[in-house]
Structure 1
Amino acid sequence: MRPKQVMWNELRFGVEIEFIGGRPAELALPPGWVMSLDELQVDGDGEDSGSELKTPPMRWADRGEIRVMLERLLAQGARANWSCGLHVHVGLEPWGEAAVPPLLDAALAGQEALRALLGTSGHRLMYCPPVTAAMRTDYARAPRPEALRRAGRPQSHRCGINAAAWYDIGTVEIRYANGSLDYGEIVRAVELCLRFVAAVGEGRALPDAPDALAEALGSPRHGYPPPAPAPRWFRERLWLEDSVAPAIGDLAERLVPGSEVLHVLPVRDGLLVGLEDPHGKLYRFVCKPPADGWQVVRALNADEPT
């Protein structure tokens, strides 16, 4: 990529705002805004809750629209908790696909500094894993979106600096920020991401320590959405998934060829196993692990309660 200087506040961006509570289906949406009602978070009792509000592509000068929508959410009783994240998309129009390799190089050099600056909660790291040197090598050998996505678990497909989003919607997605419905915290995170992408596009070598990175970008060191600890029951759920998922690989392949394990949750009569096929379609089964092999109790429809 030929470096090109673009002012950070001239780049287009979008934000995905996760929340719990409220009445998302009833929220009045301006043109271009989207409420993803199937993107549910987890409330304190472990129940599905809330949604994900997505802005349209916007300019920095139009950021006040975010404040208006946050006020509407808060008026409904919505809030952000430990299960929520904030994803910032930055448009790559000034550089195009040529921006992908520099973004991968910048991730390898400084992704931990950016993650530390945004203070990502530990339990959310599964949703924003690091770019690896192997991914960079694979992409250099054959540029394609598949090289930029991690395999194994669907919730871990997208890296914290997700350059694969270029092939989907023409952006890079930065997934490190914790959830928030505070306007100041959100726009500070957006500004940091805009400044980071503009610096990469300019060809600057960025520091690999959070304080130095903030200084180099001209961004605040603090004031981003703060981390929130997950309750013990949720951490135990993750431990269960990590323990069981590798053991059901053969079962998953038999039930849904080519699938990956999305989740493993305890239910009254066994374990609820969620599988995603290669096209992203979700299948759910209640299974039991008797001593002589896994037993499928029943298959569930997508909207069937457990």
Structure 2
Amino acid sequence: MWPKIVDWKQLKFGVEIEFVGGRPTEVELLPGWEMSLDEKQLDLTGAESGSELKPPPIQWEQRDQIREMLTRLKAGGAEANWSCGLHVHVGLESWGDPIVVPLVEAAAQVQDALRFLLRTSEHRLFFCPPITPDMAQRFAAEPSPQHIRHRGRPQSHRCGINAAAWFDIGTVEIRYANGSLDYEEIVNTIELCLRFVAAIGEGRQLPNDPERLAFELGAPVQGYPPSATPPQWFKERIWLEEQLLPLVAPFAADLVPNGEIHHIVPVEDGILIAIETGEEVLHKFVCRLTNTGWELLRRC
């Protein structure tokens, strides 16, 4: 049923807390909590040392579980750096299917305000592209998840307000927040997201202005995870990657049909090309560019 007034504190939510380093395998988890060890965040050296901590669906009154798990996580030396994000999932079961089209339409109208309020780092915008007006129109005519997912490289499929998550796990995922292991910053972000979804569920028209949006929602104006600048080597890596993409794409299509390039990095004896399939399986190849084109050296 939509619209429908639902207390934001009664909504179920989850949060994906990305981090690097520490000793994630040694962290004792509260019941229902999960630790993913194969994430792709980078530490300062460029090594893939990322992990992700997430709770089961909980409500606002249970948020102290987050404080406890952050304490355990940081005791092992974990930290959130420039490569980490904080994703909040809000359950839509109070409204069901009827809320999804209004949610997409509202997202297209106020996504900039939400992004500015959460101070999304510029280099992280790649992971949370906008819902375009064309996408919103196509979705309204035919509510299909394909209409609200971007195509191309797998890191940038999901919009900053990812309503496609409804079709997978019954939530909307808000991906704009920067990484953090600070309890207050995390719960401020969660509160903003819960209030935002509840307001859309109520059928309210929201302003596309950061401070006015926070005021209308009754959410904090400040206190969210701060933006972070990546190291120069990472910027240079991304610049190089963007230049190589047109050269690599045809070769990558031969290596993994229907795959999508995840990343391209130089290694000691060539260029490593990582290609992801629809099953989120990552295939890695080391290649080199010769006078006659790309040559495959080995599969990792």
Settle same-fold status: TM greater than 0.5: yes
Tell me how far 1:247 sits from its aligned partner: 2.3
Cα shift readout 1:18-39 (whole Å, capped 9, x = no counterpart): 1111110111111211101111
**1:34 corresponds to:** 34
Aligned residues: 300
Give secondary structure in 2 for the equivalent of 1:172. strand
1: CA distance, partners of 2:105 / 2:141: 15
Matching residue's letter, 1:275: I
TM-score w.r.t. length of structure 2: 0.97
Q: Which residues in structure 2 correspond to 1:40-51 (within 5 Å)?
A: 40-51=40-51
Q: What does residue 251 of structure 1 align with?
A: 251
* 2:115 corresponds to: 115
Structure 1 stretches lacking a partner, 5+ long: 301-306
Alignment of 1:282 onto 2:282 = yes
Aligned to 1:176: 176
3-state SS of 1:220 partner: coil
Match of 2:212 in 1: 212
Return the offset for 1:281. 1.7
Runs of 4 or more consecutive aligned structure 1 residues displaced over 3 Å after TM superposition: none
CA distance in 2, matches of 1:188, 1:107: 20
Structure 2 counterpart of 1:170, one-letter code? G
Q: Is the 8 A contact 1:40 1:52 kept in 2?
A: no
The 5 Å alignment of 1:1-306 reads: 2-300=2-300
How far residue 287 of structure 1 moved from its aligned partner, in angstroms, is 1.3
Which secondary structure state, in structure 1, belongs to the residue aligned with residue 4 of structure 2? coil
Gaps of 5+ in 2: none
Q: Deviations over 1:239-261 (max 9, x none)?
A: 12211123222111111111111
For the Cα contact (< 8 Å) 1:22–1:50, is it kept in 2? no
Contact in 1 for aligned 2:88/2:173 (Cα 8 Å):
yes
RMSD between superposed Cα atoms in Å: 1.1
> Is this contact kept in 2: 1:286–1:297, CA < 8 A?
yes
- Matched residue of 1:294: which SS? strand
What is the CA distance between 1:50 and its match in structure 2?
A: 3.6
Partner SS for 1:43? coil
C-alpha distance in 2 between matches for 1:159 and 1:243 = 24
CA deviation map 1:169-192 (0-9, x unaligned): 100000000111100000000000
Code of the aligned partner of 1:158: R
1:23, 1:50 within 8 Å by CA — same for their partners in 2? no
**TM-score, normalised relative to structure 1:** 0.96
**Alpha carbons 1:50, 1:78 under 8 Å: kept:** no
Query: How far did 1:55 drift?
Result: 1.0
**1:14-72 deviations in whole A, cap 9, x for unaligned?**
00001111110111111211101111421111111141001110000000000000000
How far is the alpha carbon of 1:285 from its aligned partner? 0.6
The sequence identity of aligned pairs, in percent, is 59
Q: Which amino acid aligns with 1:264?
A: I
Give the Å deviation of 1:294.
1.2
Residue identity opposite 2:123 in structure 1: H
- AA at the equivalent of 1:228: A
